[in-house]
Amino acid sequence: MTTNDVQHLEAGHVLQTYRRAPVVFTRGQGIFIYDEDGQQYTDLISGIGAASLGHSHPGLVSAIADQARTLLHTSNLFFHPLQGQLARQLADMSGLSRTFFCNSGAEAVEACLKFAKRHWHTRGDAKRTEIIALEHSFHGRTFGALSTTSSEAYRVPFQPLLPGVQFIPVTVDALKTAVSSSTQAIIVEPIQGEGGIRPLPQAFAEALNEVCARFDVPLIADEVQCGLGRTGKPFYYQKLGLQPDLVAIGKALGGGVPVAAALVNERIASTVSYGDHGSTYGGNLLSCRAALVFLDELINKGLLDHVATIGPQVEKRLRALAERRTEIVEVRGQGLMWGLEVNTDVDAIVDAARNHRLLINRTSGSVVRLLPPLIITLEEIDQALETLEAAFTDVANKKS
Ligand SMILES: *Cc1c(COP(=O)(O)O)cnc(C)c1O
């Protein structure tokens, strides 16, 4: 099938919720991905952070092939050997003792919102009806997650959503004004992803801990994008010193196999009962096997140390790039999660980069986002950034 055939077929039959770039990818290898004509692209977006081990990672490929031959799925009616192992590893990494498995980031957020609410029901406090979320937040597209996502364009067509959600600017004053003994939960991304790669300020994180303790409010950290090694720490909330009661994870966890989870501490876990939540696929053998491979690479095989080591070097490169390019007005991020706020047409930059066979994307209006596979080397980053600079030059030349 040619690119044209693929586009034509989709145009006729796939619900048009995505404005895709006009390229059809058919295979990948490491940080590279190949289109139908065999053209090689450098992938600095890695399936929005999901292809965390790069493409066709040998360990992941053989593990999921083996699992497919052995047993793929049993549902949660029965035990299988992998969920407990995976949950224990996640508990070791996070300090949150229990895991609920699901299939996507939105589902993980949904689960966190339900468990926070359930906790107040169990405690018999009916006044806890308000949820605090942040401006520039993104938590997913299902009704609960969408209710806490700040973009009006995403929310308005689907109103009424969950009642009682308040969006506050990321300031200590706004937080202190908003929180009360009616607050059911506060949900934050330790680094806001879709909202433009915005790390929470340290002072705000400290204020979050303080108000959550003072008003006994469960804190939800949505680490779907910034978690699982992307910043050089297992979780970015750890770097901030945040003390969440619930943590949502997804994206990187399965290396491209759909798997996500809500991690909860005992305070929340002890209020949840049989039947409160569930998922047919959640934590099935295939997805757990993939996640175990990812965590083994991350924790035992040096991937986390690799990101922690190259992250500051990547930052240096990006700050140097911003010195040279007046179009870049701010560099934000950590580890291998970066946003370049630009004062030029971001889509033009993204298109120009793709013409140079470099994949990046736009987020939040004016931000170029880089989420490379965690396996990328500094040499590969250097090459990719040269290409990115060429894309900036192309766009500047076209303008003048
Ligand atoms: C991507 C993302 C989600 C939603 O994840 P899906 O897998 O697309 O449902 C939720 N929260 C954050 C912070 C995300 O980046």
Tens-digit pLDDT profile for residues 213-270 = 999 999 999 999 999 999 999 999 999 999 999 999 999 999 999 999 999 999 999 9
Residue 53 has pLDDT above 80, yes or no: yes
Token readout for 245 is 């009661």
Largest Cα–Cα distance in the chain? Answer: 65
- What is the model's pLDDT at position 1? 86
Q: Coil, helix or strand for 329?
A: strand
Joined together, the tokens standing for residue 175 give 């937080």
- Per-residue pLDDT, 261: 99
Average pLDDT over residues 70-82: 98
Q: What is the pLDDT of residue 307?
A: 98
Residue whose CA lies nearest to ligand 1 atom number 5? 105
- State the Cα–Cα distance between residues 349 and 321, nearest whole angstrom: 14
Residue 378 CA to residue 399 CA, distance in Å, equals: 32
Reported as a pLDDT band with limits 50, 70 and 90, residue 399 is confident
Would you state the pLDDT for residue 65?
98
Q: Which residues pair with 64 in a beta bridge?
A: none
Q: pLDDT tens, 342-369?
A: 999 999 999 999 999 999 999 998 999 9
pLDDT value at position 125? 96
Supply 37's token pair. Answer: 């004509």
SS3 128: coil
Mean pLDDT of 178-200: 98
Note the pLDDT of residue 400: 74
Residues 369 and 48: their CA atoms lie apart, in Å, by 9
Q: Confidence band (pLDDT; 50, 70, 90) for 379?
A: very high
Distance 139 CA to ligand 1 centre (A): 6
246 token code pair: 């619930």
Q: Report the nearest atom of ligand 1 relative to the CA of 223.
A: 13
Whose structure tokens read 């192992």?
85
pLDDT tens, position by position, 16-47: 999 999 999 999 999 999 999 999 999 999 99
Helix or strand or coil: residue 243? coil
Question: What is the CA(363)–ligand 1 centre distance, in A?
Answer: 13
* Contacts (Cβ under 8 Å, ≥6 apart) of 367: 196, 197, 339, 340, 341, 342, 346
Q: What length does the chain have?
A: 400
CA 252 to ligand 1 centroid distance, Å: 11
Percent of the chain clearing pLDDT 70 (strictly above): 100
Residue 222 Cβ inside 6 Å of ligand 1? The answer reads yes
Which of 101, 107, 138 should be mutated for ligand 1, with most atoms under 8 A from CB? 138
For residue 281, pLDDT beyond 90: yes
pLDDT in tens, 132-149: 999 999 999 999 999 999
Query: In this structure, are strands 367-370 and 361-363 parallel, antiparallel, or unpaired?
Result: antiparallel
222 CA closest ligand 1 atom index: 13
pLDDT of residue 105: 98
Average predicted confidence (pLDDT) for the chain: 98
